[in-house]
Each structure stands twice: as structure tokens, then as C-alpha cells.
Amino acid sequence: MFQNFLHDVPFVVQCLIAAAAAMVIGVLLGAPMRRLGVRLNIMDVPNRRSSHTRTVPRTGGVAIVLAMLVAAVLFGKLSPALLVAVGLGAVAGVISFIDDTISLPSVPRLLVHLTVAGIGIYWIGLQPAGLELPYATIPFSPWFGVVFAAVVVTAFVNFFNFMDGINGIAISQGVVGGATLAILLAACGASNSAIVAAALVGGCLGFLPYNFPRAVMFMGDMGSTTIGLALAMMTLLGAKHWPWVACLMPLGVFIYDAIFTVVKRLLRRENILKAHREHHYQLLIRSGWSHVRVTSLQFGLMLLCGGAALVYAWADDHLARLIVLLVLLTVFVTYSVLVHRHFARHGT
């Protein structure tokens, strides 16, 4: 809407303006959304699996999503792809808001996420042609590309939801992941998508005062589902120009932690759909770490993943990309070993 007025403004500045606008809108919407949560009794009540001890409204996701959408519409182009993405995101958001209100079963929610992701990928044409790795490329047929990408998107949406358990951690992933993807999308000329990514960053920053360091409001399933869906779909947009691995790396902390924990629980023959407190960040909380300390550690790992993504994307040869992958994997494995050893000594 305002692109004509910003025509002569450098694109980086346009992205910063979109992010700032979304941040202001998010801050202004936060207080009324908190009151709405209290009035409608949409509250997160602590239980033995929670990392919190107070009852807190979980309607912050509404403020984040609205801030992102308003900024994206104001500063982006209303393309058919954007309208389809907004429509499908609205479906996922409404289902998640209902889940925040009355708690839906997990299987119907998974089916909604899978359907929304599959339709969006097919309609917009985001199916990857293959998985490009150092020294190897795994080609996909068009239909397999749709199915594979839909499963990955659905998985990450739920990974994001699983990892949204302490103050500021999900916001940190939204900010670092969104900012890195905005850089990659802007660098390859996908300006509209970069604006949306910047708006996502701004919406998350607008919610930050309500969620960190002390949480007076949670984003709820609506926030985690919609942000996770947006980030995952933007990796597919970026994969049209960059290796998909590079676009997934900014989300590496959540992806690694969730996969590691699922595999660990499968090896223990536990029900992976049952709520638990086995993620790395939860083990640190159970070892006596504060939310601020754990989130700060996670934020540092996220920055490392964002930097690795940019290096991987702009690396000229396979060896350099392989080294980036190995270094990042070594950091994560070391992180897992240290966290589990620490929990074995100090955890409850």
C-alpha cells in the first residue's frame, strides 16, 4: 500500500520500516489481547509438566499475527500468493485459537496443519525439486516434493509449538529465524517475502515486553502455530534460490532439539504424543537454571545457526558447506552431551 511512497527508499530501510511498524502495532495490541484472555478465560494453567508457576493469559499470538499481517499488507504487494498464504494461515490460526480455548485433540490438529501446508505448497508452487546437499543432490518428483515439503512444514509447526515452553524462547526463534530468512529472501530478489519476514520479526519484538524476562502473557497455540507455519513456508520460498539446507539452518535450534527429543523418547518406547519435559531447555530449567539464563543460551545458539545459514548460502564450494554442517552438528552434539550430564547431576 505504501510502496509507492517508499519507492526511492533503499529496500533494507523498507524492511526496517515494516518491522518497526509491526513492532509498534504488536506493542499496542498486547494490552487489549491480555485483557481479552482474562475476560474470556483463555488462560494457561500450570501443571506438573509446566515450566511456569502462575496462571497467565495465552492470547498474545493474536497480537503477533495481526501486527505481522497489517505491516505486510501496508508495505508489501497484495499478490495472489500472499493472499493464498494469508487465507491458509488464517485457517490454521483460527483452529489454533479454538484449541487455546477448548483444547482440541492432537490428531485433528495435525491433519489441519498437513492439509493447510499441502494446499499452500501446491497452490503457490513451493514444492522443492530436490534436496541439495554437499556433494549430492536427491531429486524429487513434483508430487513427492509436495508431500515431503508438507510433512516438513507440519513437523516444524509442531516443533515450534513443543519448544514454546519458557519465557522468550519462541520469540527469540521468530526474531533470529525471521531476520535471517529476510536477508536471504531480500538477497535473491524476493522482496515481498522479505517484507513479510521483516513484519514477522517486528510482530515478535512487539510481543517481547509481555513475554520476557517476566511473562505476563503467552503467545498460545495460535501464535506458535502461525509463526511456525510462516517460518517453514518462507524456507520453501528461499529454497527457490538458495539450498534448502541454508534456509532451514536459521531454525536449527528448534529442529535439532525436537528431533533429538523425539528419537530419545522413541528409544525409550515412550508415547511421543504425550506431553513431557525432556527438551534440552526443559532439562536446564529442571536443573535450576532461570528462564532468562536458558533463553539467553538458546538465543546464542540461534545466532550461530543464523550466521551458519548465511555462510552456507554464500559459500562457493561443497567443501565449505560441508565444513559448516559438520561444525554446526558438532556444536549441537556437544550441547546435548553437556546438558544431559548437567541434568544427571543437578536435575529433578
Looking at per-residue pLDDT, the higher value among 344 and 94 belongs to 344
Secondary structure of residue 42 in the 3-state scheme = coil
CA–CA distance, 93 with 62 (Å, rounded to integer) = 9
Looking at per-residue pLDDT, the higher value among 249 and 123 belongs to 249
Cell of 292: 532468562
Evaluate whether 25 touches 99 at the Cβ level (below 8 Å). no
Question: Given this model, what pLDDT does residue 197 score?
Answer: 94
Q: What is the pLDDT of residues 106-153, one digit of tens each?
A: 778 888 888 888 988 988 888 888 888 888 888 988 899 999 999 999
Mean pLDDT value across the chain: 89
CA–CA distance, 6 with 13 (Å, rounded to integer) = 9
Question: Given this model, what pLDDT does residue 7 score?
Answer: 61
Contacts of 264 (CB under 8 A, 6+ apart): 278
How many Å is the Cα radius of gyration of the chain? 19
Nearest alpha carbon to residue 207 among 195, 224, 193, 192: 224
The pTM (predicted TM-score) of the whole model is 0.92
pLDDT-derived band at 48, boundaries 50, 70, 90: low
Q: Grid coordinates 509463526 are at which residue? A: 227
Domain boundaries, the chain: 11-247
Greatest mean pLDDT range, 106-110, 194-198, 270-274? 194-198
